[in-house]
Every structure is written in C-alpha cells, then in structure tokens.
Amino acid sequence: MSGTGIDADLEGRVLEALGNPCAVCAFAVRALLAAPHDRHAFDNAARAAGLANRQALSRRMQRHGFPPPHRLQDWIRGVVMIATWARHGTGLQAQAYAADVEPTTLQRALRRIGSLGWIEVRGAGVDAWLARMTTEVDISCGSREG
C-alpha cells in the first residue's frame, strides 16, 4: 500500500481481525487502509466496487455489521497510525502533517473511537487496537460473496 507504508501483512491482520469479510466489504477496508486520511476514500471505494455511491456501500456494510463509514475510517486511521509508529517511529503530528491533516483531527478520531490518547494507543499496539475494534464491529458477512 504505497503512500502509507502499510504492507500486506497489516492488511491481512486487519481483515482477519474483522472475520475475513465478503469481497465488497474487504475491498472497502483495503481502500481505507490505502488512504486512511482521505475524506473521499469511501466514495472512491464505492465507485471502484461498482456501487452507485457511498450510501449504497455504507448500507451494505452496515447490514454486514460494520459501523458507519466515518467511524470505520477512524478505526482504520488508528490502525495505520499505530503501525506507522511501530514501523518507523513516526509520531502523530508528523503523520498528520505528512497526510495534510491537522493533528487535532487525528487526536479526536482516537478519542472518539478508543477513548484513549495517542500515548495510550501507541503503547497498546496494533493487536490491542484490533481487539478493541472487533468489540464494536460485529461482522456477519465473513467469507460470503456479499
């Protein structure tokens, strides 16, 4: 996943933690992993998956147990930020500026989702974040065709 430094291993870990969702939902998760800070990532994923718009993708994913798109993107942002920290030691502010996002935007995303600050989140690590994510995301489409 160019641009974010996210590799296939992390992608696989995220999809496995989510219960290996159906092809369409997995496609959307991959699109968010590739561009976690892009506010149009979900729109782009919907079009690329052949759906009419982001609302159609959102409805489909919510039927399959995913949270609303903005919440899912916050979870994915957290995963990517923690993985980037672990791999490169890049802090939240540097990641935010590299993504052309205000650092407070990312801090608020972590607080909204995990009720934790950056220091607690990065200290817990990717696996702990994925475990927290799966308590909210109750996937019912695992390995189905969608």
Domain that holds residue 64: 8-136
Asked if residue 30 belongs to a domain, the reply is: yes
> Residue 61 domain-assigned?
yes
Q: What is the mean pLDDT of the chain?
A: 87
Q: Residue 34 corresponds to which tokens in the numbers above?
A: 């590739």
C-beta neighbour count of 117 within 10 angstroms: 13
Task: Check pLDDT > 90 for residue 3.
Answer: no
Burial class (CB in 10 A: 0-12, 13-18, 19+), 136: middle
In a domain, 111, yes or no: yes
Q: How many domains does the chain have?
A: 1
Residue 85 lies in a domain: yes
119: in domain: yes
How far is Cα 65 from Cα 111, in angstroms, rounded to an integer?
22
Q: How far apart are CA 46 and CA 110, in angstroms?
A: 25
Categorize the per-residue pLDDT at 43 as very low, low, confident or very high, splitting at 50, 70 and 90: very high
Residues 75-94 have a mean pLDDT of 92
Categorize the per-residue pLDDT at 110 as very low, low, confident or very high, splitting at 50, 70 and 90.
Answer: confident
Asked whether residue 143 is domain-assigned, the answer is no
Position 2 in a domain: no
User: Does residue 8 have a pLDDT over 80?
Assistant: yes
Q: In the chain, pLDDT over 70 holds for what percent of residues? A: 92
Q: 30-39, 69-78, 135-144: which range is least confident on average?
A: 135-144
pTM score, two decimals?
0.85
In a domain, residue 32? The reply is yes
- CA-to-CA distance for 83 and 126, rounded, in angstroms? 6
- Residue 112 pLDDT grade (very low, low, confident, very high; cuts 50, 70, 90): confident
